[in-house]
Structure 1
Amino acid sequence: MRKIRLQLIVMMLLLCGAAGMMAGFAGTTERNGEEAVPQTAEASVWKGTANGASEAGTTAESNLELLAALGQEHMDPSALLTVKIQGEMINSISKDQAKTAAEELARAMGLSGITSNELQGNDVFQAEGDRSGVSVNLDWALTKQGHSYVRVMLVGEAAAQAREMVSLQQHVQERMEQAGIPNTWNASIQGYATKSGGVDGTMAQVEEAVARKLPLRSVEDYADVTTISRSYEAPLLGAFVKSGDTPIHMQIAVHEDSVKKSSRITIGFPVITIEY
């Protein structure tokens, strides 16, 4: 499976160090043991629509609802939905301006108590909180050159909080756009399979279920003794990354957990950015 790097790789590395979330910000897919899967092709994040935040929000809403539906069909009720929204501020600003902007964005999301840190000479502003049971984390990194890289991460139980997360994602994207931060997003759902079928059987069940909902074509795959991961072209999903010349809209991974004796399923749009 080839390496997929998201467009804002600098932001991801900066915020990864600040927040300790290597999978999300490195822009690479991961498997068990927190080990990055070797990949070679680079990719840029593209928006699935070209007519502004409204259409992007509509696409995101339907995609999150699809992820939640797949989770309900194949995963236990504790399955977690993770949404990451990231972007780069167009204008260069000072440290004080960045802190003020981070505080305003945090307040708009119902967060308070911005903390300031320094990472490799770059300033990082962070806030975290809870919105109706959904964990919300804001990371704002300011480089020495005055460039701002922003990420908001939402995590909640798919079965109970998917609707709240859809609303929050749209709200965050709108607020970031208003603050002069064009943004892209990715989402993943992860949970243990409700049916026993081994890695191969579970992957086949999930692929069959997805194929009933939208056309897809497998374009990349990775496998070892306990893990299968496949990436797909599925244009109806809208948002995608490009691996070489190939658009990737979705990734599915199944890992056999030797401790729980069960298969852990992870589905990502357009790719998985959490450990699987």
Structure 2
Amino acid sequence: MSNRKSWTLGISGGVIVLLVVIIIIVGVKDSVLLSNDTRHIVSNEAGHALQLSITEKVNNLWKLAQHSGGANFETKIIMQGSYLIKAEDWKQEALKWKESIQVATPFVAREERGQEVLRANDQGSNWKREILVFAEQDGRLYFTIHLTGVELNGKEHIVDEGEHLHKALQANNHSVLWNSEIRTKAVGTLDSMWGKMHRKMQLLGHAKPIDNYEDIRTRSVSYETDYMGEGIKMKSGVANLQMAVHELAGEGITRLTLGTPLIAGEY
């Protein structure tokens, strides 16, 4: 069984900002975080945070994931956000948005769960880009960009693409939240994989556990580290790395998921 953990962002005084999640099917579930101007919290224990680029963060995850001894590494970058629109025709606004980030792939209109959405998907031999855009009655246009790459070449392609898209969104004053994840499978038990990865995590630098989940086959912990940059503020710290290990029953195989600042989907 897969486990889903949703993002929550904290602000000073312990007030929790609820991120509304709209689920739309893309073969698997897309989590669309709806936020006006929230961004990753930038403090750590020392009161400072490394200002890391997408490339640096994903490469740090990759370095850690390689220690697992796994195969068929899959890397994901997810970007999402929303902004107020003035035009009555939200589809025309969506076309302008797509043009502003220099994506030429045409939109395809679909009805999903009773709502009309636009999708623009493209892929190569080891990478895939999926774009979802829709409007809500609050007068905002919402977008999600999923980039997926397989093995090293796919990872490098989507990192370059991610940097380009992130800069284009910022250049057009679109607030955007993003996270990255790396997944792999390896021979071993839950305990053996966890022990191996935890030792490597500590060798890379300081890593303080601040939130955890565990059941008979799954273990997941969120950490505040001094090497993963910006993070999400939680009650006991600033999470900028999450590790989850799930043991597949009767197969002798574990599935490892690493995410920064948190894992946004299933593990």
Q: TM range, normalised to the smaller chain?
A: 0.7 to 0.9
* Fraction of identical pairs, as percent: 19
Alignment check: 8 A CA contact 1:122 1:142 kept: no
Q: Any residues of structure 2 matched to 1:16-165 within 5 Å, and which?
A: 16-17=23-24, 19=26, 21-22=28-29, 24-25=31-32, 45-46=39-40, 48=42, 58-94=52-88, 95-104=90-99, 108-109=102-103, 111-118=104-111, 123-131=116-124, 133-165=126-158
Alpha-carbon shift at residue 8 of structure 1 (Å): 8.0
In the superposition, relative to structure 1, how do residues 125 and 102 fare at CA in structure 2: closer, same or farther (>3 Å)?
farther
Report the 3-state secondary structure (helix = DSSP H, G, I; strand = E; otherwise coil) of the residue aligned with 1:229. Answer: strand
Give the structure 1 partner of residue 8 of structure 2: 5
Q: Judge conservation of contact 1:136–1:153 (CA < 8 Å) in 2.
A: yes
Q: Is this contact kept in 2: 1:81–1:156, CA < 8 A? A: yes
Distance 1:77 1:121, change over 3 A: closer
Shift of 1:87: 1.6
Q: Compared with structure 1, are the counterparts of its residues 92 and 19 closer, same or farther at alpha carbon in structure 2 (3 Å cutoff)? A: farther
Kindly report structure 1 stretches of 4+ aligned residues shifted beyond 6 Å.
none
| Matches of 1:21 and 1:228, distance apart in 2 | 22
- Matched to 1:262, the amino acid is I
* Offset of residue 84 of structure 1: 0.3
The RMSD of aligned alpha carbons is 2.9
* 1:123 Cα deviation from its structure 2 partner: 4.2
Pairwise CA distance, 1:245: 5.4
Residue identity opposite 2:95 in structure 1: T
**Alignment partners' CA distance in 1, 2:182 and 2:56:** 14
Tell me the number of residue pairs that the alignment of Structure 1 and Structure 2 aligns. Answer: 247
The residue type equivalent to 2:64 in the other structure is: L
Give the TM-score taking structure 1 as reference length: 0.78
Q: CA deviation at 1:90?
A: 4.8
Cα distance, 1:114 vs structure 2? 0.3
Deviation of 1:45 after TM superposition, in Å, equals: 4.7
CA contact (8 A) 2:129 2:147 kept: yes
Question: How far 1:118 sits from its partner (Å)?
Answer: 4.5
Q: Is the 8 A contact 2:5 2:266 kept in 1?
A: no
Instruction: Return the alpha-carbon distance in structure 1 between the equivalents of residues 93 and 158 of structure 2.
Output: 26
Contact 1:68 1:158 in 2 (8 A): no
Contact 2:24–2:113 (CA<8 Å) still a contact in 1? Answer: no
Equivalent residue, structure 1, for 2:246 = 255
**Aligned partners of 1:65 and 1:162 also within 8 Å:** no
Can you list the C-alpha shifts for 1:136-195, whole angstroms capped at 9, x where unaligned? Answer: 01111211232011111111114332222221110110122233311121011111125x
**What CA deviation, in whole Å up to 9, does each residue of 1:101-136 have, x standing for no partner?**
244257x23x51201234577542211001563100
Letter in 2 for 1:100: L
Higher strand share: 2
Q: Is contact 2:128-2:149 (8 Å) kept?
A: yes
Distance in 1 of aligned mates of 2:76 and 2:242: 14
Instruction: Give the aligned partner of residue 31 of structure 1.
Output: none
CA contact (8 A) 1:233 1:249 kept: yes
Higher share of residues assigned helix: 1
TM-score (norm 2): 0.80
